[in-house]
Amino acid sequence: MSELVDVEQEPFRVAVVGPSRVGKTTLLTAILSETERQLAGTGVRILAGETTEERIHQQRRALRRAIAAEEFDAAALSGNQTTSLYEVVLRADSEPGVAPQDRIDIEIPFSILDYPGGWLNPVTRNRSAEAQQQWPACEDHIQRSVMLLVPIDAAVLMEARKPAERGSVVDLLGIEEVTAMTRLWARSRKDSGSEPAVLVLAPLKCEKYFDDNGGGGKEAPRLRQLVQDTYRDAVEAAEAEAPGRVKVVYAPIDTYGCVELMEPIWHDVGGEYLEFTGHYRFRGRPPRIQEKAAATVMRELCRSVISAQAARNTELARAATEEQRRIFERRYLRKGFFGALTFYLSGEAWWARRDGILTAKQLIAAKQSERKLNSALRSLSTEADDPRVEVWQLR
Amino acid sequence: MTRGWAQQLDYDFLGESPPVFWWHPLAHRGRVVLEQPEIVVRGGASPAVLVSGVPSIRRDVRSTRIRYTLVVEELTDQPGLVRSLVAMGLDPEQRERFGARLDAVFDADTVDGMLSGTVPCEPVVGHLAELLGAAYATHPEPSAEAEIDGSWAGPVGGERARGAFLARIERLAAGEPGLAFSSHALTTVAGAAQAAAEQPDPCAILLVNGVLTEVEPLRAAPVEPSSESPVDRTQNLVGRLAEEAVRLFRCRRPQ
């Protein structure tokens, strides 16, 4: 019975693997904001759970205050102290004319795990009792994730010009640890049959290096090359562990779009590597938040869902006569990605939640919402990528 | 718990960690935000207090102000100290003062050394005991406010909520099982009710943000176990599905 869980609690998982202070919470905020804009008019919304929403709200509020003061304070953003599970849903609301008692909103849940960056390092992890206790759960989440999101501090990569600075990149970006985690994740993807596997390499704080979002930088090719060189081992590990299975997406993201690195400072404090600090400032008057390429993450998730759904439909059609008999049990079967996929996209989630007691009007409303959600998923997934974004071909 | 200057000297306990991270389920689900000034009090056989967001004057490599999270356990028969810690956690000025006292004992070099393993951590517990003894030679009087039974949520700025919170603290410190905590993440009664439902014992929750103006009791929706077996339920469900299909067909038939 240990294999049985409620599929309703099985969201689509994303794991974030990045060092301490790289800007993971800021990235999540940008992903939600840009996806929200792209969903405008589709009848589908991206919603965060109450606690996730409040964290994001607090961060947005701090940014708005900083914009009003025209003084960006990177130091105001504090690092995570423990693990945090961010819960997000794509929800299709019932059509406007539907009476409140007949409304059925259909949703697909995603959960994104963040944890203190320091835990990536096995030495740090072994020193921390909390990390040791919590790490198995983190690893489990990573292994069951359809997407591994690797945030990269672009400034660290791009501003390392002298040998000692370049040598420090490995430690500051946790390259060894990211490679090890990528290997672990890819291995689990291989073992999970035909479930999707998307590795997103996401340089953040890219505003200075691009000229397509209000800046004048011309260094996009150099950033691309540096990411390719620096994360080559991680990408190769993914390919070696799960040949032909992993889609590698390169997505340089502007999390603010209006904050630019002014002065990079490398500190030599006598350690094995240098520490890096950046001084940032707002650009534009007044500065305007304009995230770029952040929606790539949700788009890739939707693509995973849609492509897997297409493959699954054939199988489901074959089993159609058996399907109704299985509807209820499926709720209790642990089926990972595909169990959740069928459960949410076939509308079983709302059916099971209501124990089948629905009026005809509710049934119609539910089917409408289901169609809307599927259509929005398709629309998001077929939308063209931001020109910055590339899918890297392995081999 | 605090962090050091360098990027890799991330937040961790100085010295021995508590054997059980009893607050972790709350933090993991985002019910409390340990990066903010929060208080969590656990009752039962071994009362314990967590105060997070105690500010240090130290800053990390990115110039972000570092903070402390203080966890004090085994507070059986020490209701006065529990009261003092909660009073400190609720008052930004006291919190600031306590942070300065911690900084006086744990300066930047000491913290960096302890977190990187070059400075021994054994004295930490003794230092903290001394510090707590000096800071709280006298304790606040027990709250005379009326307690509110069961789980509830109220605004942190509300007089009644704060009074009831302190009254609950007395009961927790006396060994009654339960939790009392502040939350920078929960904002609604529904969210607080969900957080309370995740706990086996009653919760008193002070919401820092959100729309609450008064204390609201939190009642979890009753979950009644079904007497039907999964197979029966499936068959019943299929039957209901068929009925719904017939009704839907009738709805759509042209008259």
The chain A residue lying nearest B1, using CA atoms, is A81
Average pLDDT over residues A28-55: 85
Question: Across chain A, what does the average pLDDT equal?
Answer: 81
A19 part of contact set with chain B, CB < 8 Å = yes
Name the least confident of A33-42, A63-72, A74-83: A74-83
- Spatial distance between the Cα atoms of B186 and A176, rounded to a whole number of angstroms: 37
List of chain B residues whose C-beta atoms are within 8 Å of the C-beta of residue A327: 234, 237-238, 241
Query: What is the domain count for chain A?
Result: 1
A136 part of contact set with chain B, CB < 8 Å = no
A86 part of contact set with chain B, CB < 8 Å = yes
Q: Which residue has the higher pLDDT, B144 or A169?
A: A169
Residue A327, helix vs strand vs coil: helix
Name the least confident of B47-56, B128-137, B193-202: B128-137
Mutation target for B interface from A52, A81, A83, A358: give the one with most B CBs within 10 A: A81
A367 part of contact set with chain B, CB < 8 Å = no
Share of chain A above pLDDT 70, in %: 78
Residue B2 in this model has a pLDDT that exceeds 50: yes
Average pLDDT over residues A22-43: 84
Q: Which residue has the higher pLDDT, A306 or B255?
A: A306
Q: Which of A318, A195, A283, A176 is nearest to A234 (CA)?
A: A176
CATH number, domain with residue A37: 3.40.50
User: Are residues B64 and A172, on separate chains, in Cβ contact within 8 Å?
Assistant: no
List of chain A residues whose C-beta atoms are within 8 Å of the C-beta of residue B9: 118
pLDDT of A7 reads: 41
Q: What is the DSSP letter of B209?
A: S
Domain assignment present for residue A56? The answer is: yes
A333 part of contact set with chain B, CB < 8 Å = no
Q: What is the Rg, in whole angstroms, of the alpha carbon atoms belonging to chain B?
A: 24
List of chain A residues whose C-beta atoms are within 8 Å of the C-beta of residue B251: 360-361, 364
Name the least confident of A321-330, A366-375, B14-23, B191-200: A321-330
DSSP state letters, B170-203: HHHHTT---EEEEESS--SHHHHHHHHHTSSS-E
Mutation target for B interface from A8, A9, A20: give the one with most B CBs within 10 A: A20
CA within 13 Å, CB half, A286: 9
* In chain B, where the domains are located: 24-217, 227-255
Mutation target for B interface from A7, A9, A22, A54: give the one with most B CBs within 10 A: A54
Name the least confident of A16-20, A44-48, A352-356: A352-356
Average pLDDT over residues A5-20: 72
B8-32 in b/e form (b: 16+ CB < 10 A) is bbbbbbbeebbeebbbbebbbbbbb
pLDDT of A356 reads: 53
Mutation target for A interface from B1, B3, B5, B8: give the one with most A CBs within 10 A: B8
Domain assignment present for residue A332? The answer is: no
User: Are residues B61 and A75, on separate chains, in Cβ contact within 8 Å?
Assistant: no
pLDDT of B242 reads: 46
Domain assignment present for residue A87? The answer is: yes
Average pLDDT over residues A231-243: 95
Residue A97 in this model has a pLDDT that exceeds 90: no
pLDDT of A338 reads: 64
Name the least confident of B13-27, B112-126, B239-253: B239-253
- Spatial distance between the Cα atoms of A263 and A255, rounded to a whole number of angstroms: 19
Q: How many angstroms away from the CA of B114 is the closest CA of chain A?
A: 11
- Spatial distance between the Cα atoms of A295 and A251, rounded to a whole number of angstroms: 10
Average pLDDT over residues A12-22: 85
Q: How many CB pairs under 8 A join A and B?
A: 161
User: Are residues A116 and B11, on separate chains, in Cβ contact within 8 Å?
Assistant: yes
Residue A6 in this model has a pLDDT that exceeds 50: no
List of chain A residues whose C-beta atoms are within 8 Å of the C-beta of residue B209: 54, 58
User: Nearest Cβ partner of B63 from A75, A86, A325?
Assistant: A75
User: Nearest Cβ partner of B7 from A275, A327, A363?
Assistant: A275
Q: Is the ipTM of this complex over 0.90?
A: no
Average pLDDT over residues B135-146: 80
B202-235 pLDDT, tens digit per residue, is 999 999 998 899 999 997 544 433 333 333 343 4
**What residues make up the domain containing A136?**
7-305+379-392
User: pTM of the prediction?
Assistant: 0.81
A321 part of contact set with chain B, CB < 8 Å = no
Residue A371 in this model has a pLDDT that exceeds 80: no
A339 part of contact set with chain B, CB < 8 Å = no
Q: How many angstroms away from the CA of B142 is the closest CA of chain A?
A: 32
Residue A10 in this model has a pLDDT that exceeds 90: no
Other Cβ atoms less than 10 A from the Cβ of A259: the count is 24
